[in-house]
Structure 1
Amino acid sequence: MPETGWLTWALLSALFAALTAIFAKIGLEGIDSDLATLGRTVIILLILAGFIIYSGKWTNPLKFSPKALAFLTLSGIATGASWVCYFRALKLGEASKVAPVDKLSLVLVAILAFVFLGERPSNMDWLGILLVAAGVVLLGLRL
């Protein structure tokens, strides 16, 4: 598969994230949100394992550096916690309210990347980040 730009992959991610919210909201009807999260995770694991094996990308994960293993473990824990919280929020609330609040992660990523990764967004970037935060308030919190 030819490598495309990051923007293409990011837009596809946004599309699939939107579909995730809609499909999950429908699928959660009559099911515990934690159990639904587990089921979804098993499906993701099977699909991703098949893709990695099919594409010949499998390598021994025990050969990852200790730093990579530690941070991938932390990322996995954060992902799991995010999914559990997201599915519980979807179970209790409207997808059109839950999804915008979930996107507050965009603002948090910018702040955390500034603090921990030394990334320095431009003034225009910060304006965009502020507008996203305002959008979260307007769409999700409706204050």
Structure 2
Amino acid sequence: MTEAALATQPHSDSPAPGGRRWLLFALTTVVLWGIWGAFAGISAKRGFPETLTYCVWALTMIPPAVIVLRRERWHLDISAKAIFYGLAIGLLGAGGQMVLFRAVTIGPAYLIFPVVSLSPLVTIVMSFLFLGERTNKLGMLGVVLALLALPMFDYDPGGAVTGFGLGWFLLALIVMACWGVQAYFMKLANASMSAESIFFYMMLSGLMLIPIAMMMTDFSHPVNWGWDGPWLAAGIQMLNAIGALTLVYAFRYGKAIVVAPLSNAGGPLVTAALSLVLEGAVPGPLKVAGLFLALIASVFLALAP
């Protein structure tokens, strides 16, 4: 059986996918990442650098990894293929985050994030070509609307691109490619290894890059080591970590061509709603249009088979 055909089959140790199980996990990711997005910037505002926040995030991956492995009686896939897939997924995700740290220091964030947000396009194209994934017309419309909505969340047409070279654009494309390919491998790996093992290797990869994040940290500036520094960051990043775990399960039971755009478009919807309630922040016309498209896209994708 070819690898593409295998990708449509469940892992031998896993229950056969059925019903809307993928949707439950995808929506859980949307909610967790949406809440995380609403509070993610607090740590940096209170003097705890984003590079150190990465280190905290990597550490928060440990508890959920231990819990799910314990539930599996500590069974870990250790074949060469499993290790390759697991580390590829983890390093693409964590490595993309490292590149993003660099990109935002040399380029405009209001243009970088819209480019990065198109990572589901990479996943969709690869899943279409190599896994043979298809969806109905309603699902396809949802995919298109989600891809149209994603860049609108962060784009600021009032910003002027002056004083920047083109290096940021190349780095943004690298991040987009890393995260798009990561999602593709996440779906591919679920065909031959357990979701729990995938997440373990994601956790391991994140820990491996902590020294790089430490080296990228500017310790010449004061760092907030109080409770609202690393400890608050840990509470916020735990939402991110658990959301990553449920995303692995979403890819296990659902099509990458649907899961990727739903999880990426749905999260900002929750973030925007929370920001409106907590801060009274009214989004601009372009963001409102993006949120409206994302809402419609999410409904279409949820209804798609």
Q: TM-score normalized by structure 2?
A: 0.37
Aligned to 1:13: 29
- What do residues 48-102 of structure 1 show as CA deviations (whole Å, max 9, x unaligned)? 24413553531245xx2211211111001011024445677899858xx95x765
Question: Is the 2:69–2:75 Cα contact (8 Å) retained in structure 1?
Answer: no
1:112 pairs with 2:129: no
Distance 2:44 2:128 in 1: 36
Match of 1:36 among 27, 48, 53: 53
Unpaired runs of at least 5, structure 1? none
Query: 1:135 deviation in Å?
Result: 0.8
RMSD: 3.2
Find the residue that maps to 2:73 and give its secondary structure.
coil
With a CA cutoff of 8 Å and minimum separation of 6, indicate the structure with the bigger relative contact order.
2
Question: Is the 1:107–1:133 Cα contact (8 Å) retained in structure 2?
Answer: yes
Question: Is the 2:118–2:147 Cα contact (8 Å) retained in structure 1?
Answer: yes
Distance 1:137 1:104 in 2: 7
Match of 1:78 among 85, 92, 99: 92
Query: 1:122 deviation in Å?
Result: 3.6
Distance 1:25 1:38 in 2: 15
Change in Cα spacing, 1:131 to 1:60, as seen in structure 2 (3 Å) is closer
Change in Cα spacing, 1:19 to 1:102, as seen in structure 2 (3 Å) is farther
Aligned to 2:211: none
Distance 2:133 2:60 in 1: 35
Change in Cα spacing, 1:51 to 1:39, as seen in structure 2 (3 Å) is same
Distance 2:33 2:103 in 1: 15
Amino acid at match of 2:56: G
Match of 2:144 among 127, 130, 135: 130
Match of 1:24 among 12, 25, 40: 40
Distance 2:26 2:102 in 1: 25
Q: Which has the larger radius of gyration?
A: 2
Unpaired runs of at least 5, structure 2? 1-16, 158-305
Question: Comparing both structures, which one devotes a greater share of its residues to helix?
Answer: 1
Change in Cα spacing, 1:18 to 1:37, as seen in structure 2 (3 Å) is same
Match of 1:69 among 83, 93, 100: 83
Aligned to 2:155: 141
Q: TM-score normalized by structure 1?
A: 0.72
Amino acid at match of 1:120: R
Tell me which moved more, 49-58 or 33-42.
Answer: 49-58
Question: Is the 1:107–1:132 Cα contact (8 Å) retained in structure 2?
Answer: no
Over the matched positions of the two proteins, sequence identity in percent amounts to 23
Query: 1:8 deviation in Å?
Result: 0.8
Distance 1:87 1:15 in 2: 25
Match of 2:75 among 21, 44, 59: 59
Count of residue pairs brought into register by the alignment: 135
